[in-house]
Structure 1
Amino acid sequence: MTDTGGIAPAVESILATARQRGGGDERVSVDPRPLPAAIQRAEAAGRVPIIAEIKPTSPTTDGERRDDPVELAEQMVDGGATALSVLTEPEHFGGSPETLRAVREAVDVPVLRKDFILREDQLDTVEADLILLIARFVDDLDELVTAARERGFQVLVETHTEAEVETALDAGAEIIGVNNRDLARLDVDLSTFESVAPSGSEDVTLIAESGISTQGDVERMRAAGADALLVGSAIMDGDVAANTRRLTTTETEQ
């Protein structure tokens, strides 16, 4: 469903780089740690399910954080993170497959590979528990979802519009993320999740992405039906363990 009309220049640059990036030499096979089960365990323990993101830098942030990513991952898990998201895009986000591999070896929670994956061979770059596919940029979502599942990956299909959600559902997506950030303008609006997230889809795990920085934001997204929340900058900016704990702790526990 590739749609690159109206895309911000920064995102166009990321896509151009992604189109040129190769994949792995050998087909990977993954025994994944299930995200839905991890979410259930967090809720049973009274924690808000947070997917904490290790993001050294991005086109929408200033500067770069150079901490050891394994140490950051361990601090996030200590703070109660249900799962981790690791950027593997090198040129614009400072990530790498090697970082994801090291993080996954160090923790026991599900780890999402966050990147701009456009072709099947790019699935074979590194093992992860989940991979991100952005509905807007994938030519044949059904085909790529199937290819990912054949390798054992769980697939998080990212959407931003109702039409993209329908495309994700038609492709059999079981984990759908709604990105509150509009990639055309790079601005953020939390009402996106509220208006776009499908209702009554008990078999689908819903993830709210972007723009979540306060406990009020967490409560708002959860009230709108988010099973889990993907949070990057609000956790990476400052004390990672404390920031994670702040967002995973319910108001009644504080």
Structure 2
Amino acid sequence: MLEEIVRYKVAETTQRKQAFGIDRMLSRIEGARPPRDFAARLVGQGVSIIAECKYRSPSRGVLRADYDPLQLALDYQAGGASALSVIADSRFFGNAPHIVGQLANHPGLTLPVMYKDFIVDEYQVFEARALGADAVLLIVRCLPANTLGRLHRLATELGLQVLVETFDEADIDQALAADASIIGINNRDLDTFQVNFDRTAQLFGRLPASVIAVAESGIAGREDMRTVEAIGFSATLIGERLLAAPDPQLEIRHLLGLGVPA
């Protein structure tokens, strides 16, 4: 599936650059709001939550029938989330870049916003900042090593912070070589697609203490939050658990251990 998505993204981005070039994107960046400090919101007492907005996933289909990204983001903020991850993809996840902009610039939302897509081209990085995003996701598996480093530098130059997603030891080595300061470890084993926190803990051991570590995917409840906190993670990225919850605001509070039994 990842290879299929990457192929589509390469073709899609080529078409979009032709329709709305980088020069026009640069002019929009000049008027974008100043970036918020994504990294600073991830560190502190306990494990913070980056809460995700998306309509569907390729494997699970529609995740929330009454999906309203703005109301969802407001609920996430009220529940105690530290940042938002907003999917910019429409074909596979049912969101779109304009939703990133809607949430990044809404006066009632103050959380940092991460533009999340399968980034394969500098155009997407320019777009993220033009929309008002504060951070981007770069997935090591989607990019050649030299491209990862180049896009990471570009994002930093534009004032964006970068969460670099990894799956194994080689990915982590590439992330560190690109000077990543925020590194995500996907809790799902790509071979078995099972959540494996023992494997996550082994991968975490390769990270320098200076790196902000984010546990991604597969958080199913308060006990999993305790597990990743014990491993040493500063933050988690959670999507499907929150989207499936009847009350996302209450679910975040439960995951954080706020106002609910320990």
Is the shorter-chain TM-score for this pair beyond 0.5, marking a shared fold? Answer: yes
Change (3 A) 1:122 1:35: closer
Amino acid at match of 2:94: G
Aligned to 2:54: 55
Partners in 1 of 2:207 and 2:54 — Cα distance?
33
Count of residues in Structure 1 that have an aligned counterpart in Structure 2: 241
Partners in 2 of 1:32 and 1:181 — Cα distance?
31
Aligned to 1:105: 105
Alignment of structure 1 residues 239-254 onto 2, 5 Å: 239-249=247-257, 254=262
Deviations 1:12-71 (A, max 9, x none): 321121111225632336632112321346x2xxx6411111121101223242422011
Q: Among the aligned pairs, what percent are the same residue?
A: 34
Q: Does 1:174 align with 2:181?
A: yes
Deviation for aligned residue 1:97:
0.8
Name the SS for the 1:90 alignment partner: coil
Amino acid at match of 1:205: I
Deviation for aligned residue 1:188:
2.9
Change (3 A) 1:237 1:92: same
CA RMSD of aligned residues (A): 2.1
Aligned to 2:236: 229
Aligned to 1:6: none
Deviation for aligned residue 1:101:
0.7
Instruction: Show structure 1 runs of 5+ residues with no match.
Output: 1-9
Partners in 2 of 1:93 and 1:185 — Cα distance?
22
| Contact in 2 for aligned 1:123/1:148 (Cα 8 Å) | yes
* Pairing partner for 2:12 from 21, 32, 36: 21
Deviations 1:161-187 (A, max 9, x none): 111111111110000000112445544
Amino acid at match of 1:246: H
Aligned to 2:224: 217
Alignment of structure 1 residues 145-224 onto 2, 5 Å: 145-183=152-190, 186-198=193-205, 201-224=208-231
| Contact in 2 for aligned 1:52/1:83 (Cα 8 Å) | yes
Amino acid at match of 1:133: L
| Contact in 1 for aligned 2:253/2:260 (Cα 8 Å) | no
Instruction: Show structure 2 runs of 5+ residues with no match.
Output: none
Partners in 1 of 2:237 and 2:89 — Cα distance?
17
TM-score (norm: length of structure 2): 0.85
